[in-house]
Amino acid sequence: MTDGNPTLAPDTYQGFVPAERPIGHEGVKRWFATALAKGRLSGSFLLVGPPGIGKAGLAKWVAKSLFCERQPGVELACCGTCPSCIQVEADSHPDLVQVRKPDDRAFIPVELLIGPPENRMREGFNRDIRLRPFRGGRKVAILHDADYLNEEGANSLLKTLEEPPPDAILFLIATNEQRQLPTIRSRCRIIRMHPPKGEQAVRLMRQRGIECESSAVDRAIAICAGDCEAAAIFLTEEGSRVRNAIVQRLAVKGIDPIELSQTVSAIMEELGSTATGNAKRDRLQDVFSIAVDYFRQQLHHEATNPKVIGPLTFRLDRSVDAIGQALRNANQSTLIESWATDLARGCPS
């Protein structure tokens, strides 16, 4: 998708001031604003980008703009205070269809998409999006957690994605387009969204109640590979404590694999037994990302010392590999122990 440079929707209309726009993603917002102004905003969209950067917020902003009772209906703007805007924000608008992965399920249940076996195609996401709008002339459907579509669930969406109702807009929210089946990708317009930087990143964190300088926010987002949700955790006092504890174990001349694995395991245990497998996996990736960032810094500082370049590069590569293994749901305890042992083996003498 090309951003283009069309005119943005105005910030004010007669008699009201629109609600605050989603932070950042100006090129994407210009594209949607232009498509809406030309009457061509329809079809299926795959919004792709790291967690916490505002993909779902953008989709709901589009929904508010279409449903708002106080703006013309051809501008990407909304008041944020009318009944329709409030209902969208509260996930209760009758023309907004949403599906999320339940916390206790590894994938989005196919029943949420096409109904239970005894009521196939008479319930669920596919059926709800084809119902006539209750108000106005549009419907918006948002499928969150599209990364967790299994093959059966993805296949059940194909006809709806390929031939959505003319009055409907469908959004699939994902972190990586490569995690979607080719048949899904080919039926959607892919919109790639990127983490905010500078003042926009500061504003995003401020919305989460975190006050930090721009450099600290940018660094946290970089450590977390663009994951703004994880970056917000690292910017808290507790997150700083976790990072310091890990760096302290990595900064010694001879890494003790037992102490390092115990430190990481203790951090993981703090999540508690109520945390979902996905949350634990994500936090483990964050731990390995701290190591990646630390070893990158060390390589920069030791660029003129050939004796340590090899061992540091090994440890950096091993930590990157550990992130991939966590993504593939490797056994947590085994992964932590093997990673710590390999780092100790790769320590410079």
Last residue of a domain, one of 192, 219, 251: 192
Q: What is the model's pLDDT at position 16?
A: 41
- Please indicate, yes or no, whether residues 47 and 188 belong to a single structural domain of this protein: yes
- Please indicate, yes or no, whether residues 42 and 174 belong to a single structural domain of this protein: yes
Q: What is the model's pLDDT at position 4?
A: 36
Whether the per-residue pLDDT at 8 is higher than 50: the answer is no
Task: Answer yes or no: is 15 within a domain.
Answer: no
- Please indicate, yes or no, whether residues 61 and 149 belong to a single structural domain of this protein: yes
Token reading at 312 = 């540091």
All residues at 6 or more sequence positions from 244 whose CB lies less than 8 Å from its CB, including other chains: none
The C-alpha angle 237, 239, 241, rounded to 5 degrees, equals 70
Mean of the per-residue pLDDT values of the chain = 86
- Please indicate, yes or no, whether residues 171 and 87 belong to a single structural domain of this protein: yes
Last residue of a domain, one of 130, 157, 192: 192
The pLDDT confidence band at residue 273, using thresholds 50, 70 and 90, is low
DSSP assignment of 104-134, as one string? T-SS--HHHHH--GGGTTSSSHHHHHTSPPS
- Please indicate, yes or no, whether residues 293 and 188 belong to a single structural domain of this protein: no
Give pLDDT tens digits for 157-213. 999 999 999 989 999 999 988 889 999 999 999 999 999 889 999 998 998 888 989
The pLDDT confidence band at residue 299, using thresholds 50, 70 and 90, is very high
Distance between CA atoms of residues 201 and 54, nearest Å: 11
- Please indicate, yes or no, whether residues 95 and 244 belong to a single structural domain of this protein: no
Task: Answer yes or no: is 315 within a domain.
Answer: yes
pTM of the model: 0.75
Task: Answer yes or no: is 12 within a domain.
Answer: no
Give pLDDT tens digits for 26-75. 899 999 999 998 888 999 999 999 888 889 999 999 999 999 998 876 77
Q: What is the model's pLDDT at position 163?
A: 92
The pLDDT confidence band at residue 282, using thresholds 50, 70 and 90, is confident
Q: What is the model's pLDDT at position 174?
A: 95
Distance between CA atoms of residues 181 and 172, nearest Å: 13
The pLDDT confidence band at residue 276, using thresholds 50, 70 and 90, is low
Task: Answer yes or no: is 263 within a domain.
Answer: yes
CA distances to 303, 323, 340, 343 from 310, rounded to whole Å, are 11, 20, 17, 12
- Please indicate, yes or no, whether residues 167 and 254 belong to a single structural domain of this protein: no
Report how many domains make up the chain: 2
All residues at 6 or more sequence positions from 292 whose CB lies less than 8 Å from its CB, including other chains: 223, 316, 319, 320, 323
Give pLDDT tens digits for 214-265. 999 998 888 887 888 888 888 888 888 888 999 999 999 889 999 999 999 9
Whether the per-residue pLDDT at 122 is higher than 60: the answer is yes
Please give the residue range of the domain that contains residue 182: 26-192
- CATH number for the domain spanning 110: value is 3.40.50.300
Task: Answer yes or no: is 121 within a domain.
Answer: yes
Q: What is the model's pLDDT at position 324?
A: 87
The C-alpha angle 54, 320, 200, rounded to 5 degrees, equals 25
Q: What is the model's pLDDT at position 170?
A: 97
